[in-house]
Copies of this chain bind each other. A is one copy, B any other.
Amino acid sequence: MKIGVLFVALTMVSAHAVAQSGNAPPAFLDAQASDPVTMGWMVGSPPPPNRVIRFADGSYFRFPQTRWTFSNYRQLVPTRPVERGAMPAIPLKSALRPELEAVRFKKLDSDETFSFGDMYAKTYADGIVVMHRGQVVYEKYTGALKPNGHHAVASLTKSFVGILGASMVADGTLDEKAPVSKYLPELKDGGFGDATIRQLLDMTTGLQYSENYADPNAQVWSHVRAGGVLPKPANYTGPQTFYEFLLTVQKEGEHGKAFAYKTVNSDVMAWVIARVTGKSMSDMFSERIWSKLGVEHDAYFTVDSIGTEFAGGGLNTNLRDMARFGEMMRNKGRVGSQQVVPQSVVADIVKGASPEQFAQAGYPWLKGWSYRNMWWISHNSHGAYMARGIHGQSLYIDPKAEMVIARFGSHPIASGNANDPFTLPAFAAMADALMKRP
């Protein structure tokens, strides 16, 4: 098991190295060669030994196995449903325009141009839904992701948590200026004790917590290992749950000074919500959001050994359902005549936060962006904003172009830096193409 964990860490190191090397070709099988159906992962009774994917040996978290894993998480770890409830599914109208695959864009870090279809393959997309004015205009699935299936949405999860938190601030249940310790006294002496709810929501906390996937000693690894997202080594004596880990996080620097993307903020935000409401994240998601979108499928969360949801990244949804969620956001929080998310919360996200505070985080492809209520705001001329997750998970909302793009992927490199040079100009070019239509 130690070997498995080490391998995961090494994969991350190598992925990071490639990400840093700029234009160097990735040292990975390309999308076609790594197609999980072609490779035959987990096919057979039993599958051949070299086509088995297991949790305990860490194989599930290695590329190219991840191309299968991200569409099959519940087969590997315990989960909890986010129920769609009794609301009938709202059919997604389709007006498919296959020619949109040819929409061209210039890659951010070169003078080369590519098509939208190139972007799909180059970034190891598993599925994509483009909606324009509420209709599906482009839709594609490959590999292990089926139209009726589920996919890990990774840190898109945070954007749901952010909406819940901001909604509870909006309705007065939470005080955004109050310290976390007002709601979670057990965190008083830890790193989060004097951070405010607002600082959690905007990730401007100062915490001793590295999200550097290249560093096997980064706290992000301890965090997910505590929560059972990674297997625990044989003689593991560390925290056994997400909550136990969060108690160990220490302060570093000052809160409120700069944006610093740290997954723990989302888990603490979710903990506050659970404590105040007495309800699990799954039930809160279902009650406040998922049951009101007209989705087709329950979603689900991966959970730790005591049933606590991984609020920083454990949500798994259907792709069309994610597009429905995006449409609700584009429609200022409404589904039909029902206000699902307060309009003020959506407006607050669209408005964004401080690009100056954001700039300090140094994202090469996100110049001028900001981060608000756990969403990424481009501040471009279309007012586009995103929910973003590792390995290429994206929900891109372009209000001016009346466009929503939901995209799941399994890029070998975790960091968004590897996808952005392709995806950001591709999304913008698609918006332009859609706006040109009379």
Which residues of A are interface residues toward B (Cβ below 8 A)?
A: 42-43, 45-47, 52-56, 72, 74-81, 83, 85-86, 148, 241, 243, 271, 274-275, 278, 298, 303, 305-308
Contacts and interface: CB of A to CB of B under 8 A. Distances in A.
B307 A75 contact: yes
Given A45-B308, A56-B305, A298-B298, A74 B75 contact: no
A20 to B, nearest CB: 35
Contacts of A305: 54-56
27 contacts: A42-B306, A45-B243, A45-B274, A45-B275, A46-B306, A46-B308, A47-B306, A52-B306, A53-B306, A53-B307, A54-B306, A55-B78, A72-B307, A74-B78, A74-B79, A74-B80, A74-B81, A75-B78, A75-B80, A75-B307, A77-B78, A78-B78, A79-B79, A83-B148, A85-B148, A86-B148, A298-B298
Contacts of A55: 78, 305
Contacts of A42: 306-307
A241 to B, nearest CB: 7
Most buried by B among A54, A243, A303: A54
B75 A76 contact: no
A278 B74 CA distance: 21
A83 B318 CA distance: 13
A371 to B, nearest CB: 26
Given A55-B305, A307-B42, A76 B74 contact: no
Question: Which residue of A45, A74, A86 has the most chain B CB atoms within 10 A of its CB atom?
Answer: A45
Contact of A75 (B85, B271, B303): B303
B45 A271 contact: yes
Contacts of A85: 148
A74 B83 CA distance: 14
A376 B86 CA distance: 35
A47 B77 CA distance: 21
Given A46-B308, A76-B78, 6 more contacts: A42-B306, A42-B307, A45-B243, A45-B274, A52-B306, A78-B78
Contacts of A79: 74-75, 79
Contacts of A75: 78-80, 303, 307
